[in-house]
């Protein structure tokens, strides 16, 4: 009988280091929000990948940064919690940004928190830097921390990702698989749907507004004809935000709804009826229920 293995792999790093892109590349499907804006991943999102006889459960953690608000603090706490719960940790570094002050803070914390778990270094976006600089960066980082292995990758283009996945598969402990073979994400469909809409909002809105809104799937109705009706609420903090989100004659919200519906239909493989409603909720950042919907611990925001 073939021996199987399975384990959790936490992806950590600064915001926008490419963790969500790497997760989606590993899994082979879009399970995590990917935008050009930083701090877009809020919850710890799990994607499931198969490599030979090994099942790898990737935890895409929020980026680790200097928190300012309650939500920021809860996100950073979720990131470190995800790392603490994992069998393996992968630290993603952007090649062109190098060893930033934020990277040094993460490495210092790893020295205290890793607890003997293997930690791999993945230098991402290698197409933006020349080979000699990559080698110098690898040497510098390995002097700061005793990484188990170093990988040069491009999560966006797929370069080096298979080598990283193969190495991770050899490290996870022997044991039964944790999820069914055809499951690619340990996340309720309601939350995946909300994340897809939030991503489309983030892509169309500017400056701080994306960080001051949240999306919740209020209703999910499977219909007899095989289609699904999804009702979502978008919470914003001010009346002015609602106007921006709706756009001239409702054009912005309509475009977001169309993009999200098409994405959901591709993901679910069936027809989707998506209905979006915008509500002003000035204090949503301080409501425990909103954090639960995002998969975050409200109390962690106090730390």
User: Alpha-carbon distance 252 to 266, whole Å?
Assistant: 22
My answer on whether 147 and 11 are in the same domain is yes
113/218 same-domain check: no
| Residue 151 located in a structural domain | yes
In a domain, 176, yes or no: no
What is the percent of the chain with per-residue pLDDT over 70, rounded to a whole number? 77
The strands making up 119-124's β-sheet, listed across from edge to edge, are: 45-51, 54-60, 5-13, 88-94, 119-124, 149-152
Query: Do residues 156 and 205 both lie within one domain?
Result: no
Please tell me whether residues 114 and 10 are part of one structural domain.
Answer: yes
Q: Return the DSSP state at 89.
A: E
Dihedral of CA 5/6/12/18: which sign?
A: positive
Per-residue pLDDT in tens (0 to 9) along the chain, 303 residues = 578 999 988 888 887 888 888 988 998 766 655 544 444 444 556 778 899 999 998 876 655 554 556 666 665 566 556 566 788 889 999 999 999 988 898 888 888 766 678 899 999 999 999 999 999 999 999 999 999 999 999 999 999 999 999 999 999 999 999 888 877 766 677 888 888 898 888 888 765 565 678 889 999 999 999 999 999 999 988 888 888 888 888 899 999 999 999 989 988 889 999 999 999 988 877 777 766 666 666 565 555
Question: Both 164 and 261 in a single domain?
Answer: no
Give the tens place of pLDDT for each residue, 175-204. Answer: 999 888 877 766 677 888 888 898 888 888
Residue 159's CATH number: 3.40.50.300
pTM: 0.66
On whether residue 184 sits in a domain, the answer given is no
3-state secondary structure of 154: strand
**255 part of a folded domain:** yes
CA dist 249 → 88, 222, 246, 253, 255 (Å): 50, 31, 8, 9, 11
Q: Are residues 163 and 201 in the same domain?
A: no
Last residue within a domain, chosen from 171, 206, 240: 171
My answer on whether 88 and 15 are in the same domain is: yes
Count of the separate structural domains present in the chain: 2
Same domain, 90 and 164: yes
* Residue 73 sits in the same domain as residue 217: no
Q: End-to-end CA distance of the chain, in Å?
A: 48
Q: What is the pLDDT of residue 28?
A: 79
Is residue 199 in some structural domain? yes
- The closest of 83, 78, 80, 6 to 44, measured between CA atoms, is 78
- Residue 177 inside a domain? The answer is no
What is the C-alpha separation between 218 and 270, in angstroms, rounded?
20
Same domain, 162 and 18: yes
In this structure, the answer to whether residues 211 and 89 fall within a common structural domain is no
Which positions ≥6 away from 59 have C-beta within 8 Å? 8, 9, 10, 11, 44, 45, 46, 82, 85, 86
Q: Within this chain, do residues 164 and 116 fall inside the same structural domain, yes or no? A: yes
143 belongs to a structural domain: yes
Single out the residue in 109, 141, 171 at which a domain terminates: 171
* Domain edge (last residue) among 171, 206, 222: 171
> What is the predicted pLDDT for the residue at 77?
61
pLDDT in tens, 98-110: 999 888 988 888 8
The answer to whether position 16 is within a domain reads yes
Structural domain of 20: 5-171
- Number of helices and strands in the chain (H, E): 9, 9
- Residues 6+ away with beta carbon under 8 Å from 251: none
Average pLDDT score over the chain: 82
Check which CATH number belongs to the domain holding 228 and give it.
3.30.300.20
């Amino acid at each position: 009988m073939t021996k199987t293995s399975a384990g959790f792999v936490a992806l950590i790093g600064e915001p926008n280091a490419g963790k969500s892109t790497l997760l989606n590349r590993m899994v082979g499907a879009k399970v995590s929000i990917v935008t050009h804006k930083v701090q877009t991943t809020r919850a710890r999102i799990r994607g499931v990948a198969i490599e030979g006889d090994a099942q790898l459960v990737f935890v895409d953690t929020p980026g680790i940064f200097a928190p300012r608000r309650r939500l920021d603090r809860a996100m950073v706490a979720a990131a470190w919690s995800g790392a603490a719960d994992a069998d393996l940790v992968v630290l993603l570094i952007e090649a062109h940004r190098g060893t930033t002050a934020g990277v040094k803070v993460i490495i210092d914390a790893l020295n205290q928190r890793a607890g003997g778990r293997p930690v791999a270094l993945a230098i991402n976006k290698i197409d933006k830097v020349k080979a000699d600089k990559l080698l110098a960066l690898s040497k510098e980082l390995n002097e700061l921390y005793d990484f188990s292995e170093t990988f040069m990758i491009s999560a966006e283009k797929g370069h080096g990702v298979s080598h990283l996945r193969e190495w991770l598969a050899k490290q996870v402990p022997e044991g039964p698989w944790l999820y069914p073979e055809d499951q690619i994400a340990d996340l309720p469909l309601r939350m995946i749907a909300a994340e897809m809409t939030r991503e489309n909002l983030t892509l169309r809105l500017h400056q701080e507004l994306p960080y001051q809104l949240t999306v919740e799937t209020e209703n999910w109705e499977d219909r007899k004809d095989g289609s699904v009706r999804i009702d979502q609420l978008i919470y914003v903090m001010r009346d002015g935000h609602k106007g921006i989100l709706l756009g001239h004659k409702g054009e912005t919200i309509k475009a977001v709804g169309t993009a999200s519906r098409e994405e959901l239909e591709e993901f679910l493989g069936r027809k989707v009826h998506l209905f979006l409603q915008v509500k002003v909720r000035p204090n949503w950042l301080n409501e425990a229920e909103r954090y639960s919907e995002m998969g975050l611990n409200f109390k962690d925001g106090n730390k």
